[in-house]
C-alpha cells in the first residue's frame, strides 16, 4: 500500500521537473535569439540562470543543462553585439563621449591591425572558407574512420573469441590471414605520423590526382580508423563472456549474437571515447596545409603571408579551434551524463 500511495506523488513531481527544465531551455534559446537586441538577451539569460539555480531537481535533466549553456552563449553574443552597435551603428547626433570613444577606437592599433588582417580585401573569407573545408574533411573522415574501425575491430575480436573454438580449415585460415592483415594495418598507421601518411598518399599514391579534399579524407579516415578499431575492440572484449553464452542459449549464432547483443552494449560503452577521438581528428586536420589544402589553419597562414602580421590571424585560428573543441567537449559531457542516467 505504501508503494502505491507514493506513485501519485512522484508523477506530478516528475512532470513539474520536466516543465522547469523545458522553461530553462526556452529561456536559453531566447537569450541567443534576442542577443542582437541590447539587454534583451541578457534578461532571458538571467531568467534561465535563476530557474537553473532555484530548481535543483531540474539540473539533472539534459534540457536544463543545454538551456544554461545557451544562456552563457547568449550573454557573450549580447556583449559582442552591443559593443559592435555602440562603436559602429550610425547615429545622427551621437553624444560627445560616444564620438570620442569611436574615434579613439578607430585610431587604435588593435582596430588598424584587425581591419588590415580581416576586413581589407575581404580577407576574412579565407577563414570562413577554410572552416568549411575543415568541417567537410572531418565529416567524411569520421564516416570512413567508423567504417574501417568497425570492420577491423570485428575481425580482431572475432579471431580472439573464435580461435580456440574453430577447427582447422579454410575458415580459420582466412580469419587468421585477415587478423594478421589488420594487425599490420594498426601497427603501420599508429606507428607513423599522420603528416607523413598524408604526404605519402598525396605525393606517392595519388600523385596524379588534383582532388586534395579526397586525399585528406582518405588520409585522416585511414588514420582515425586504426584508433577507432582499438576503441571498439576494447569495448567488445570488455563485454562479459556470459553474454555470448546467453545469446547462444537463445538460439543465436555468432553473427546474430554480435549484432543484437554484444555490439549495442559495446557501442554504449565506447561512445564517449569515440567522440573524443573525433574531437582529436578535428584538430589533426590542421596539417592539411602540407599538401596545399586551404583549410582553417592554411587560411590564417595565407592572411599572415599577405599582411606580414602573424599575431592576429593565428590567434583567430586558435580561438576558432578552441571554440569548436569546447563545443564538442560539452556535447560529449552531455552524452556521458545521459548514458550514466540511462544505466540507473
Using a 10 angstrom Cβ sphere, with 0-12 exposed, 13-18 middle and 19 or more buried, the burial of residue 119 is exposed
Q: Are residue 154 and residue 275 in the same domain, yes or no?
A: yes
141 plus 173 within the same structural domain: yes
The CATH number linked to 291 is 1.10.3720.10
Q: Does residue 18 sit in the same domain as residue 135? A: no
Q: What is the DSSP string of 181-206?
A: HHHHHHHHHHHS-HHHHHHHIIIIIT
Residues 65, 137, single domain; the answer is no
Whether 40 has a pLDDT exceeding 50, the answer reads: yes
Question: Across the chain, what does the average pLDDT equal?
Answer: 85
Q: Within this chain, do residues 279 and 211 fall inside the same structural domain, yes or no?
A: yes
330 and 293 share one domain: yes
218-231 residue pLDDT tens: 999 999 999 999 99
Which of 82, 107, 132 finishes a domain? 107
Of 214, 207, 227, 232, the residue nearest 140 (C-alpha): 214
Distance of CA 43 to the CA centre of its chain: 30
Give domain status of residue 114, yes or no. Answer: no
Q: How confident is the model at residue 320 (pLDDT cuts 50, 70, 90)?
A: very high
* 7: pLDDT strictly greater than 50: no
What's the whole-number mean pLDDT along residues 297-311? 92
One domain for residues 90 and 17: yes
Q: Say if residue 35 is in the same domain as residue 129.
A: no
201-212 average pLDDT score: 89
228 with 174, same domain: the answer is: yes
249 part of a folded domain = yes
Asked whether residue 117 is assigned to any structural domain, the reply reads: no
194: phi then psi, degrees, rounded to nearest 5: -65, -30
Residues 72 and 199 in one domain: no
Question: Which set of grid coordinates corresponds to residue 82?
Answer: 552591443
How far is the CA of 2 from the CAs of 5, 10, 201, 337, in angstroms?
Answer: 5, 13, 69, 31
* Residue 16 and residue 126 in one domain: no
Model's pTM, two decimal places?
A: 0.82
Q: Is residue 168 part of a domain?
A: yes
The mean pLDDT value for 149-178 works out to 80
Q: Which domain holds residue 274?
A: 122-343
What is the DSSP-derived secondary structure letter of residue 167?
P
| pLDDT score of 328 | 87
Domain boundary among 48, 74, 107: 107
In a shared domain, residues 187 and 291: yes
Q: What is the pLDDT of residues 80-91, one digit of tens each?
A: 888 888 888 887
- Domain count across the chain: 2
282 found inside a domain:
yes
Amino acid at each position: 500500500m505504501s508503494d502505491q500511495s507514493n506513485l501519485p506523488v512522484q508523477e506530478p513531481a516528475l512532470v513539474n521537473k520536466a516543465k522547469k527544465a523545458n522553461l530553462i531551455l526556452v529561456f536559453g534559446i531566447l537569450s541567443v535569439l534576442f542577443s542582437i537586441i541590447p539587454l534583451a538577451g541578457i534578461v532571458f539569460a538571467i531568467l534561465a540562470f535563476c530557474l537553473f539555480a532555484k530548481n535543483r531537481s531540474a539540473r539533472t535533466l539534459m534540457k536544463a543543462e543545454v538551456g544554461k549553456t545557451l544562456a552563457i552563449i547568449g550573454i557573450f553574443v549580447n556583449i559582442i553585439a552591443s559593443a559592435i552597435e555602440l562603436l559602429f551603428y550610425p547615429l545622427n547626433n551621437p553624444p560627445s563621449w560616444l564620438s570620442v570613444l569611436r574615434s579613439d577606437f578607430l585610431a587604435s592599433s588593435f582596430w588598424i591591425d584587425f581591419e588590415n588582417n580581416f576586413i581589407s580585401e575581404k580577407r576574412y573569407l579565407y577563414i570562413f572558407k577554410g572552416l568549411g573545408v575543415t568541417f567537410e574533411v572531418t565529416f567524411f573522415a569520421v564516416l570512413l574512420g567508423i567504417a574501417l574501425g568497425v570492420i577491423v575491430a570485428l575481425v580482431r575480436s572475432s579471431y580472439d573469441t573464435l580461435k580456440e573454438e574453430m577447427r582447422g580449415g579454410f575458415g580459420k585460415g582466412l580469419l587468421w590471414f585477415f587478423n594478421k592483415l589488420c594487425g599490420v594495418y594498426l601497427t603501420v598507421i599508429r606507428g607513423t605520423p599522420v603528416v607523413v601518411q598524408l604526404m605519402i598518399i598525396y605525393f606517392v599514391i595519388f600523385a596524379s590526382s588534383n582532388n586534395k579534399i579526397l586525399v585528406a579524407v582518405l588520409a585522416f579516415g585511414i588514420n582515425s580508423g586504426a584508433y577507432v578499431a582499438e576503441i571498439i575492440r576494447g569495448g567488445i572484449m570488455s563485454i562479459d563472456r556470459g553474454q555470448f553464452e546467453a545469446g547462444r542459449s537463445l538460439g543465436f549464432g555468432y553473427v546474430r549474437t554480435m549484432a543484437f547483443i554484444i555490439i549495442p552494449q559495446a557501442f554504449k560503452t565506447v561512445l564517449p571515447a569515440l567522440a573524443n577521438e573525433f574531437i582529436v581528428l578535428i584538430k589533426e586536420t590542421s596539417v592539411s596545409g602540407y599538401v596545399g589544402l586551404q583549410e582553417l589553419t592554411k587560411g590564417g597562414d595565407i592572411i599572415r603571408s599577405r599582411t606580414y602580421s602573424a599575431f592576429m590571424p593565428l590567434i583567430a585560428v586558435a580561438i576558432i579551434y578552441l571554440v569548436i573543441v569546447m563545443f564538442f567537449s560539452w556535447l560529449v559531457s552531455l552524452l556521458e551524463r545521459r548514458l550514466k542516467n540511462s544505466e540507473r
